[in-house]
Amino acid sequence: MTFWKTIAAAALLAVAGGAAHAADVEKPKLTLGVGGKPLLYYLPLTIAERKGFFKEEGLEVEINDFGGGAKSLQALVGGSVDVVTGAYEHTIRMQAKGQDIRAVIELGRFPGIVLAVKKEKADAIKSPADLKGAKVGVTAPGSSTNFFVNYLIAKAGGNPKDAAYIGVGGGAGAVAAMKKGEIEAISNLDPVISKLEADGDIVVIADSRTEKGTKEIFGGSNPAAVVYLKQDFIEANPKTVQAIVNAFHKSLKWLETASTDDIVATVPEAYYLGDRALYERAVEASRETYSRTGIIPEDGMKSALGMLTQFDEELAKANVDLSKTFTDTFVKKAAGGS
């Protein structure tokens, strides 16, 4: 009898502890914006959702999936979402515009973005500079996939403004746009790119899915997906922000040891784009891209700024304080388990 009383008491303490933890958070109900949730770029978000890491931290998170990262950013600025999982570059661009938006944890250490051309156009488009006059599919105009093409074109000596950018999203719609001939080139991520590669629809020009490929393109590391918020929200809701970072940190740690089968079994079947085996290969190929520490290295910040200034004249003239684009306080606390 004493044994069962002890078990019951422990269960009550666990429930009470969880309730206290939830009550401790200033804003337990949050709206999160993302641009292309099924993309492997945002896998840590899906893991946090499906594994219950948000709930463990006392959070009820409503996820709004937009067509691309630029739309998520607009939603944050407009106040319709509280937090965004999106490209680190957006924090730099907003600093230049006088808006204090900061990343609180790095999710991806390599962009994972690929620039490819329609197979039939491969003889005519051999370099990013050859994209003049071409229709280039991106997740959404102004998103990181768009920045990636802009940078590559400028680096190759071309003018990014000479190409036409068409928003195709980050799922089946992007695949269909290429197959139907609506675009001649595409800047996108897995599993979209792996699907088009497997079907023989594209020829890859630039690939940042690996450390080697990223260094060839940028000359060093280049941070990818992060979690970012307005600084005034961070200051007003520090416990909430800590809970958000804790949940994402759990995702990164889970991904470090999870098998490919575990990952594939965790995400919705719709993510497979109708081909589970191909999705498994895409997951395996993308595992290297996820952040190991959640902290953006200084050289990564400088690399991201350098990329943007290649094609953004306004940003090239701006005085950007990179120390205000990312704060590591929350992720260090999450790593310490306190």
CA–CA dist 139, 73 (Å, integer): 14
> What percentage of the chain carries pLDDT values higher than 90?
83
Cβ distance 290 to 249 under 8 Å? no
Q: What is the pLDDT of residue 22?
A: 52
Q: pTM of the prediction?
A: 0.87
Of 319, 321, 329, 330, which is closest to residue 301 (Cα–Cα)?
A: 321
pLDDT at 19: 40
Query: Residue 55 half-sphere exposure, CB side, CA atoms within 13 Å?
Result: 6
pLDDT at 21: 53
Distance from chain centroid for Cα 89: 11
CA distance 167 to 190: 16
Q: In terms of C-beta distances under 8 Å and separation of at least 24 residues, what long-range contacts does 121-128 make, across chains too?
A: 121/184, 121/185, 122/203, 125/184, 125/185, 125/205, 126/205, 127/156, 127/205, 128/152, 128/153, 128/155, 128/156, 128/158, 128/205, 128/206
| The residue to which tokens 């991106």 are assigned | 138
Least Cα distance to 189 among 317, 312, 87 occurs for: 87
Residues 6+ apart with CB under 8 A from 216: none
CA distance 56 to 23: 12
Looking at residue 3, its pLDDT comes to 43
Distance CA 92, CA 140 (A): 18
Low-confidence ranges of the chain (pLDDT < 50): 1-20, 338
The pLDDT value recorded for residue 68 is 85
- Phi, psi at 32, each rounded to 5°: -115, 135
Instruction: Kindly report, residue by residue over 191-200, the tens digit of the pLDDT.
Output: 999 999 999 9
Q: Which backbone phi and psi does 171 adopt, to 5 degrees?
A: -140, -140
Q: What pLDDT is stored for residue 29 in this prediction?
A: 98
Domains and CATH numbers, the chain: 2-110+222-336 (3.40.190.10), 114-207 (3.40.190.10)
pLDDT in the model for residue 39:
93
What is the pLDDT at residue 337? 72
